[in-house]
Amino acid sequence: MASINAQILAIDAGGTMTDTFIINDKGEFVVGKAQSTPHDESVGLLQSAADALTYWGTTVEESFPNLLAGVYSGTAMLNRLVSRKGRRVGLIVNKGMEDFHRMGRAIQSYLGYSYSDRLHLNTHRYDPPLVPRERTRGITERVDVFGNVVIPLYEHEVEPAVLDLLDQDVEAIVISFLHSYKYPAHERRVRDMAKEIMKKVGKEVPIFASVDYYPLRKESHRTNTTIIEAYAADPSRHTLEVMNRRIQEKGATFDLRVMASHGGTISYQANELARTLVSGPIGGVVGAKYLGEFLNIKNIACSDIGGTSFDIALITQGDLSINSSPDMARLVLSLPLVAMDTVGAGAGSFVRIDPNFKSITLGPDSAGYRVGVCNPAGGIDTVTVSDCHVVLGLINPDNFLGGEVKLYPELAYEAVKKQVADPLGLSVEDAAYGVIDLLESQLRNYLESMILGKGYSPSQYVCFSYGGGGPLHTAGYTKGLGFEDVLVPAWAAGFSAFGCGAADFEYRYDKTLDLNVNDGASAEEKLMAGSGLQQSWEELMEKVAHEFERNKFSSDKVDFRLFFRMQYQGQLNDLEIESPVNRVETVDDWNQLVASFEETYSRVYARAARSPELGYTITGAIVRGMVEVAKPKIPEEPLYGEKPPKNASLGRRKVYWKGAWTEADIWEMEALKAGNRIEGFAIIESPATTFVVPPGFETYLDQHRIFHLKEIVK
């Protein structure tokens, strides 16, 4: 079809399947699937892309030359880490501190646990360390928190340590000393000496000094992150390079970018590749930000229900909030990660009855892609939320994932009866309805408490609902919260991929600082702190510019944004704030920084929580640099009337709702026209998602193919 103008290629390479999403200039997308090919991921990628394009009756060769951009996100790196299949890394740390890495700061024994398991001590367990003790060596040196050398580097210890690691056949060496972000000379000296030693003995392996990658406070976080760089990220670079070459051979004219955890995309040539470790769930948030900018919506509550979890993120004043020391794969890290909250409740969550209290419990584990008892191929015997959907008639058993997976309502009915309804003495329908009601009220509470916890109210936000399972429950979990508006994009199921395609080409660099300014400080002291911050910004801007130069963007094309982290003196936590000034040169500039900190602090906590008498500390400088890249177009259609076209109707179906069987109108999502208004009870179906409009609600499809959900006020 010549009319198809494919624009953006988004790739989600998972452990078993490689999904490609190809988005055209109308915002429509096709999804292709192929088995992943771990030995050479480009094979699976091209097959998957070819599969997607068959829906538009075109081929890779025909479409690739027209594409504007390609973004890769994958779990290969994370899998390498989780399954401990990375490089053999050797570690050099301070002598006497060799054990800190494997001690995991104690917290790594329960990271990533559900609430109940965090309290359940016997479940706590350490994973094997990335670098075992026998490949860790100590070198005498010590630098204090101010960057003073307390014990000089014992250079004579470097050679035996490096030779010893080489004897153990390490494939990479990581160096991480205490307070090196403050005084990098020792790490760099060891790095350079090691290079010479390796050259001399003719056995060279890559070497990673933590200051060259993540010059940040907290040695466990910094060391883990640098190890991951050597262990999992650097080995993936080659894979990405090959993939890039293959798609260019097929006619693509762009360089493949990789989704990074801070919400932007980076090149596979980036120095700090570990930033791309987690990318999957971020796509949706980035997509919401992009759509929000287009629709001029500043405050967005993003909610995504997938098979296993409910993810929430807030976009406030057009910006994502960033967590600068997150944990991932049960490791503490110093990577900036889009702050997201996850509840372990999704469409695949298991439903059980507490034998003691006879109450319904949801999750925290889930059937994931195996759906539930209604899908006998999945081999699941515990009831899931999806089984309840099937019992109630909310999802069409013959049109699940476009009919690819056949569901058996009678199996779901039997299982819900035996496992949930009979023990509770309820009818099967009431039991299933109770499960859905419980899920929705849990999600509602969670969403509300997260927004309130950040110092806002839902009425200041527009809620975006997406993910395969999101639109099923949108009405349920937004009911009564009073959002300004509730939006369900028609491409909800592919929204994460859309987000990857919409992500900025952006590098972000962080640096730890310690600039203290007392209350009532002199102008001189303020200027001194200001120039310290300014100097760091310049250093980071240079780093960002350098990364863009590798991709042939000169620094005048880069749009820089400056941020800083500030706290009251003596506090343990800080806030990340965008600088109101482009340079800090005068006392007035400094005062503006303080004023925006005070303003943010009173919004996040309370006005009365401000304590300016303690003085201020700048704890970090951040620079983000962006360049313009092609983005997917948001659809634009002429408005038709309010009445949906006849051919969009798929008839009526019996659905159980609030204690009775009722009839719901069934609509085909793709056939609805812009401007159509549908009153509940209605179910709007598409191959990948189901949008429920319950009684008392109505929805309106706007010219951008976004549904607006409203409660009907009587």
Contact positions vs other proteins (CB under 8 A) = 114, 116-117, 120, 122-123, 125, 352, 354-355
d(CA 521, CA 382): 65
- Rounded to the nearest whole angstrom, what is the least distance from the CB of residue 55 to other proteins in the complex? 39
End-to-end CA distance of the chain: 48
Cβ count within 10 A of residue 472: 25
On whether the CB atoms of residues 171 and 231 are closer than 8 A, the answer is no
Q: Give CA–CA dist 104/124, Å, rounded.
A: 12
Beta strands 660-668 and 682-685 are parallel
Min dist CB 232 to other proteins, Å, is 22
Indicate the residue among 204 and 354 with the shorter CB distance to other proteins.
354
Q: How many CB atoms lie within 10 A of CB 208?
A: 25
CB of 116 to other proteins, least distance (A): 7
Share of the chain residues as helix, strand and coil, in percent rounded to the nearest 5: 40, 25, 35
Ramachandran class of 99: left when φ > 0, alpha when ψ lies in -120 to 50, beta otherwise:
alpha
> Between residues 358 and 643, which has the closer beta carbon with respect to other proteins?
358
For the chain, the residue count is: 714
Min dist CB 509 to other proteins, Å, is 39
> Both tokens of residue 316?
């406030």
Pairing of strands 257-259, 69-74: parallel
Cβ closer to other proteins: 3 or 122?
122
Q: How far is the CB of 83 from other proteins (least distance, A)?
A: 13
**Which residue, 355 or 480, is less far from other proteins as judged by CB?**
355
Which has the closest alpha carbon to 219: 272, 165, 148, 143?
A: 143
DSSP state of 155: G
Question: CB of residue 552 vs other proteins: minimum separation in angstroms?
Answer: 48
**Quick one: which of 77, 90, 75, 86 has its CA closest to 15?**
75
Instruction: State the minimum distance, in angstroms, from the CB of residue 352 to other proteins.
Output: 7
634 in Cβ contact with 668 (< 8 Å): no
Residue 383 beta carbon to other proteins: minimum distance, rounded to whole angstroms: 13
Minimum gap (Å) between residue 354 Cβ and other proteins: 7
Which amino acid is located at 28 in the chain?
E
Minimum CB distance to other proteins, residue 361 (Å): 9
The residues near 519 (Cβ < 8 Å, ≥ 6 apart) are 612, 613, 614, 615
SS (H, E, C) 424-460: HCCCHHHHHHHHHHHHHHHHHHHHHHHHHHCCCCHHH
Residue 351 CA to residue 365 CA, distance in Å, equals 9
For other proteins, which is the closer residue by CB, 416 or 545? Answer: 416
Query: Which amino acid, one-letter code, is at 352?
Result: R
Smallest gap from Cβ 423 to other proteins, in A, equals 9
Q: Residue 207 forms beta bridges with which residues?
A: 173
- Which residue, 291 or 360, has its beta carbon nearer to other proteins? 360
Which residue, 40 or 365, is less far from other proteins as judged by CB? 365
Residues 138 and 173 sit within 8 Å (Cβ to Cβ): no
* Strand 677-679 to 682-685 pairing: unpaired
CB of 117 to other proteins, least distance (A): 6
Residue 105: which region, alpha, beta or left (left: phi > 0; alpha: psi -120 to 50)? left
Q: Which is nearer to other proteins, 13 or 421 (CB)?
A: 421
Nearer to other proteins, 36 or 419 (CB): 419
User: Minimum distance between the CB of residue 97 and other proteins, rounded to whole angstroms?
Assistant: 22
Measured between alpha carbons, how far is residue 214 from residues 211, 324, 336 in Å?
6, 11, 11
Q: 123 vs 253, which CB is nearer to other proteins?
A: 123
Rounded Cα distance, 90 and 396, in Å: 54
Picking from 280, 285, 494, 466, the residue whose alpha carbon sits closest to that of residue 402 is 494
Question: Smallest gap, in angstroms, from Cβ of residue 409 to other proteins?
Answer: 25
Other CB atoms within 10 Å distance of the CB of residue 180 = 26
Nearer to other proteins, 350 or 466 (CB): 350
- Taking the complex as a whole, the smallest distance from the CB of residue 123 to other proteins amounts, in Å, to 5
CB nearer to other proteins: pick between 346 and 489 = 346
In the complex with other proteins, the residue whose CB is nearer, 418 or 643, is: 418
Assess contact for 344 and 314: CB atoms under 8 A. Answer: no
Nearer to other proteins, 117 or 327 (CB): 117
Residue nearer to other proteins on the CB measure, 120 or 133: 120
Cα→Cα distances 234→86, 171, 541, Å: 10, 11, 23
3-state secondary structure of 251: coil
